[in-house]
Amino acid sequence: MTSLHAFRDDALGEHDAVALAELVRDGSVSPQELAAAAIERARAVDPQLDAVACAIYDAPRYHSRSDAALYGVPTFVKDNSDVAGLPTNHGSEAFRARPAAKNGAYTDQFLGTGLTLLGKSRLPEFGFNATTEFMTEPPARNPWDLDRSIGASSGGSAALVAAGVVPIAHANDGGGSIRIPAACGGLVGLKPSRGRHIDGEQVRHVPIHMISEGVLTRTVRDTAAFVAAAENVWRNPKLAPIGEVLGPAQRRLRVGLLTHSVTGAEVDASTRAAVEHTATLLEKAGHVVEPIALPVTEQFAADFVQYWALLADLAVSTGKLILDRSFDAAATDGLTRGLRAHHRRNLHRTPAALRRLQRIPATYARLFAQSEVVVSPVLSHTTPPLGHIAPTVPFPELIDRLTRYVSYTPLNNIAGTPAVSLPMGRTPDGLPVGVQLSAAYGDERTLIELAYLLEAEQPFPRIQEQATNSSTR
């Protein structure tokens, strides 16, 4: 296996975003120096990672207010969110977008935290897949092992953060797209509650709102700092504020342990070990951990696939109107075409599936009458080799592999509840394994507090150490 990282003795060093922002504030380093170091790192490793969709290295965009919490820290925006003057291609080979006229609403909130924009990161077509792979273009690669998937749909952002190009990058999550690449890349990936941040424009065109905006980071405090900074830009008045979370809380919680998914997919040994180890650490800290069962059946999985397929049908059917007149439905990838065909074959099932999915928030909330937090796998198995779930795989085989692999994350999207992926395990060959913590709607604070506890009990894996034990390019 071949790993790759960009860490070096430069202005970025091995600092996280919080540390870099502090260095900028005390005058030890300038935003320009940080941007230059990140650009040099990107140029060094992205030819192998293929994580960048669009670069603006010649003209980084610096925030105008030096008092913003993360002022001067370099970053990338995922290429399904509009950035003024840059194309938004949604990972698709079916069209070539024109430059956006203005920033998307969430882009403004994200960059309003003070971050310096260096470009946009890659995602699979429309964010539908759980790997950042394409029909003809090269895949985004996992820096822990260049022959493996980095997950998706925020795969480009995950690769850049995991490799050390930047400490924080934009991500969003409609079925696991923050948590999956976090699990594959050894990162912290918090999917916020529905409505916690300003919604991206794509939410306006879907019948069930299941997309949350957020970030990928290497440390819990970076995620916590971003959440607090984003609330200072805009806060949903319908949700209690999270505020600044600086460490674990002293309260003891009832924790539900979940190891069986709605699809019945078998969990591999490394993943099960990571979940059980996390449960042991929580018990050691005084929390009460008890096994639980989900209050939903396999019907949920079928309904989610039907909705997923509806979204693919809508994306293709409205492509020329919403995306670009150049949109060519025949040039969409194998997963998009397969999902669309699945929806059209089963069109009569859509109304009932939507009705059942709309009842999920109330059903799922029952879990949190008995547990404040649920611990589970993020994925049923560790990150697969490139090609295993590529859009070139025949659709019947591909959809079977995907529904088995991604069997834990979608429930939080439909329920609208927060969940976080933490790198709590390793495979025998050193790849990171993610564990998911989920909480009741609006309770991100509890997840961040527990994440601090677990990070302190078991420091997260460092790719620099992995590289010393494997061949490195």
User: Using one digit for the tens of pLDDT, what is the confidence trace for 243-298?
Assistant: 999 999 999 999 999 999 999 999 999 999 999 999 999 999 999 999 999 999 99
Q: What is the CATH number of the domain that holds 420?
A: 3.90.1300.10
The pLDDT of residue 469: 47
> Number of structural domains, the chain?
1
The residue annotated as part of the active site, out of 3, 121, 149, 177, is 177
Q: What is the pLDDT of residues 337-347, one digit of tens each?
A: 999 999 999 99
* Catalytic (active site) residue 177: yes
Domain that holds residue 389: 17-465
* Catalytic (active site) residue 320: no
With respect to residue 87, please indicate whether it lies within any of the assigned structural domains.
Answer: yes
* Catalytic (active site) residue 153: yes
Q: Within a 13 Å sphere around the CA of 247, how many CA atoms are in the beta-carbon half?
A: 3
With respect to residue 9, please indicate whether it lies within any of the assigned structural domains.
Answer: no
* Amino acid at the residue 174: G
Instruction: Report the C-alpha gap between 203 and 174 in whole angstroms.
Output: 10
The rounded average pLDDT for each run of 10 residues, N- to C-terminus, in the chain (473 residues) is 96 98 98 98 98 98 96 98 98 97 97 98 98 98 98 98 99 98 98 95 84 98 98 97 96 96 94 98 98 94 98 96 95 98 98 98 94 98 98 98 97 98 97 98 98 97 76 38
Give the 3-state secondary structure percentages of the chain, helix then strand then coil, rounded to 5. Answer: 40, 15, 45
With respect to residue 5, please indicate whether it lies within any of the assigned structural domains.
Answer: no
The residue annotated as part of the active site, out of 121, 153, 193, 376, is 153
The residue annotated as part of the active site, out of 78, 81, 154, 212, is 78
Indicate the burial class of 307 (C-beta count within 10 angstroms; 0-12, 13-18, 19 or more). buried
The two tokens of residue 117 are: 């924009």
Q: Are 434 and 182 in contact (CB under 8 A)?
A: yes
- Residues 245/248/254/257 CA torsion (nearest 10 deg): 90
The pLDDT of residue 467: 60
With respect to residue 456, please indicate whether it lies within any of the assigned structural domains.
Answer: yes
Provide CB contacts within 8 A for 49, sequence distance 6+: 4, 140, 141, 143, 146, 159, 160, 163
With respect to residue 52, please indicate whether it lies within any of the assigned structural domains.
Answer: yes
Name the 3-class secondary structure at 363: helix
With respect to residue 234, please indicate whether it lies within any of the assigned structural domains.
Answer: yes
With respect to residue 12, please indicate whether it lies within any of the assigned structural domains.
Answer: no
With respect to residue 10, please indicate whether it lies within any of the assigned structural domains.
Answer: no
* Amino acid at the residue 329: A
